[in-house]
A and B are shown apart, each in its own frame.
Chain A
Amino acid sequence: MVTVEFLGPIQKESLKLEIANLSELAKILQNDEEMRPWLENSAVAVNDMLVNSRDVELKDGDRVALLPPVCGG
């Protein structure tokens, strides 16, 4: 089971999904109308490391986080 968390302003409860990679996650979230705008501008972290491509295998217990645009300070 992989946990998917939505950070900051994304108003969505975390998910627990049986997925093996980020492409499978992309397909699931693309079917969620409310998530589509966030997919355009959000970064993705796997176990708190930012990733630059979907070619990331996921295993049981992994945590994925979506990080929308930031503005500290």
Chain B
Amino acid sequence: MSTGVISPTPTAARATSIAVEYLKLTKPRVISLLLVTTAAAMFTAAHGVPNGWLILWTMVGGFLAAGGANAINHYVDRDIDGHMKRTDARPVVAGSVTPRRALVFGLACGVASAALLATAANELAAVLAVMGLAVYVGIYTLWLKRSTVHNIVIGGAAGAFPPLVGWAAVTGHLGLYAWMMFAIVFYWTPPHFWALALLLQNDYAAAGVPMLPVVHGEDATRRQIFLWTLVMVGVTVLPCAAGLAGWTYFAGALILTAVFVALAFRLWRTPSRALAKATFHYSLLYLALVFVLMAIDAA
């Protein structure tokens, strides 16, 4: 007798489970913040609301590029991911996706992203998306991550490509404002990542990744977080200095940066996991709100 509830067949359940594992390879939670910067750059470049289809396809293309980079990262880092609590359940380490399939999936996502962006937006947006993937995999993951404490400083450039993609998708070129958005993400990355590294330093040490707190200790890291936060404040107000953003952005950015500086200062003076966690979480909110402010200011 039917209960009215259709239970999934074993095949459908298995297909769903495989799809979920492949989705995990893309690190969708990390990508969501990148897509906020892409969308905000599109609204800012358009001085209003861009074409809805362009927004949709650029978001999908951006997701595929970043997701592809993350999947390839899972393939490359499979030897160290198992040593870190944060990453030891990743699909490749757990065995739910083979390394080869993760690599092929990542490369396929990159190709699909380039094709989609070139078709639905323009060639520049496609090239920038692929460059972001290449910087993340080639410069950050393969070269710098295991060789220098500056890994996330220089490698942070990879995360700064999404606003360039968004800007290029709308305008077909890159102006000063687009590069300033790139710089805001670039100079935001060290305080953001080092706050996380303070929380996960045992993991990074176990995996042999030379993150700043592992190599030079917590005190040095907390000091660098504070100094880089001050640098980031300066970079955040640069669009106003160039005459590209107005008082709305300036006032909002000052409030947001004041909170960031206060957190970073307290973290520098008072060693505390709770403060490191608060700084890390606030940094996520900060970046999203700064980009939303730019879009509002430009409308």
Q: Do A and B come from one complex?
A: no
Residue numbers of A with Cβ under 8 A of B are none
Residue numbers of B with Cβ under 8 A of A are none
